[in-house]
Amino acid sequence: MKVAESVSEVRTWVNQRRGEGRTIGLVPTMGFLHDGHLSLVKQAKAAGHAVVMSIFVNPLQFGPGEDYDRYPRDMARDRALAEGTGVDLLFTPSVEEMYPRALQVTLRVGDLANRLCGLSRPGHFDGVATVVAKLFHIVEPDEAFFGEKDYQQLRIIQTMVEDLNLPVKVIGCPTVREADGLAMSSRNRYLSPEERRRAAVLSRALFDAARRCREGTTRAAELVQSVTQQLSSAGLEVEYVSAVREEDLGQVDQIDEPCRLLAAVRVGDTRLIDNVALEAGKGMKHVAAYVDR
């Protein structure tokens, strides 16, 4: 595995791989890798790509009072995990390399950002879109791989690619979960043992709603109310629970098209997000293992 810290190194390496007839898969991350990140690498490898993983804690997407300074970092561990999973090039730029001067031109996300996580994190998705656009221009990947856990982020990036005619295909990959269903996240390490136990209610409540939808409950308000009650009863601070269309994240009243049920909670000082697909009357094998735990 080659490790590059500069944009010029990445471009030289990518050009060499292109000259060999290789395609490029990009896995953007903020590091402190877990099995969710590594599953993206495996999917990129399975597609036959030379895989570039970036590790960059992007200051543009952290607001005042958020956890930029304490965001977990362990580059030695991350390098070992990336190499062991088959990453071909690890891009680890400094803030100065990515933003050598104060940016005069950035991206602004429209209505997709003005809901869900965007309500409590103004400017967050502008920062995400800006750094991902920079990575796309630096690496010029054929495909880029993102987890579905951050579903709003995934849809914003896919929409950015469509709106700006960027020559990359964005692949959404299934959320990877702990044995009890909790979605893997770098922030899970902040949870105390008691908070970790309560946090598992988030996925259980969502999976329960997905099952109820499959069995015939199609009123969005009923599903949202049920999840909200379960989260509150577990002592979780509910930021939002919302049933939305997958396409544009617009709120729905009935589950009669491809939809997602998304939620954000605080467990102590830690903010967690998760989501499940809602498909009325259809089997959902990927959640069945967790529903009754």
Q: Round to whole Å and give the CA distance between 107 and 200.
A: 35
Residue that wins the pLDDT comparison between 111 and 293: 111
**Arithmetic mean of pLDDT over the chain:** 95
Residues at the annotated binding site? 30-37, 61, 147-150, 153, 176, 184-187
DSSP bridge partners of 2: 89
Rounded-to-integer distance, Cα 245 and Cα 203, Å:
20
Predicted confidence (pLDDT) per residue in 239-281, tens digit: 999 999 999 999 999 999 999 999 999 999 999 999 999 998 7
CA proximity to 91, closest of 48, 18, 140: 140
85 and 161 in a single domain? The answer is yes
Q: Are residues 250 and 140 in the same domain?
A: no
- Contact between 123 and 103 under an 8 Å Cβ cutoff? The reply is no
- The single residue listed with the structure tokens 């946090």 is 199
| Model confidence pLDDT, tens digit, residues 164-179 | 999 999 999 999 999 9
Asked if 171 and 27 touch (Cβ cutoff 8 Å), the reply is no
Could you confirm whether 137 is annotated as catalytic?
no
75 and 219 inside one domain: no
CATH number at residue 24: 3.40.50.620
Q: What is the DSSP letter of 171?
A: E
Q: State which of 173, 200, 218 marks the end of a domain.
A: 173
Binding residues for ATP: 30-37, 147-150, 176, 184-187
| Contact present, 7 and 96 (Cβ < 8 Å) | no
Question: Are 124 and 237 within one domain?
Answer: no
Q: What percent of the chain has pLDDT over 90?
A: 94
Query: What pLDDT, on a 0 to 100 scale, did the predictor assign at position 293?
Result: 38
Q: Are residues 143 and 270 in the same domain?
A: no
Annotated binding-site ranges for beta-alanine = 61
From the list 63, 65, 82, the residue with the least C-alpha distance to 74 is 82
| 27 and 158 within one domain | yes
Domain that residue 57 falls in: 2-173
Please give the C-alpha separations between residue 286 and each of 39, 174, 181, in angstroms, as whole numbers. 15, 9, 11
d(CA 167, CA 180): 38
The total number of structural domains that make up the chain: 2
Q: Say if residues 236 and 267 touch (Cβ distance below 8 Å).
A: yes
More confident residue, 283 or 227: 227
Instruction: Judge whether 82 lies within some domain.
Output: yes
Of 37, 49, 137, 286, the active-site residue reads: 37
Q: In this structure, which long-range contacts are made by residues 102-105, counting pairs with CB atoms below 8 Å and at least 24 apart in sequence?
A: 103/60, 103/130
How many beta carbons lie within 10 A of that of residue 87, not counting itself? 27
160 pLDDT exceeds 80? yes
- pLDDT over threshold 60, residue 7: yes
Report pLDDT for 67. Answer: 85
Percent of the chain past pLDDT 70, that is, above it, reads 96
7 and 91 together in one domain: yes
Provide mean pLDDT across the span 55-64: 95
Flag whether pLDDT at 290 surpasses 70. Answer: no
Average pLDDT over residues 144-152: 98
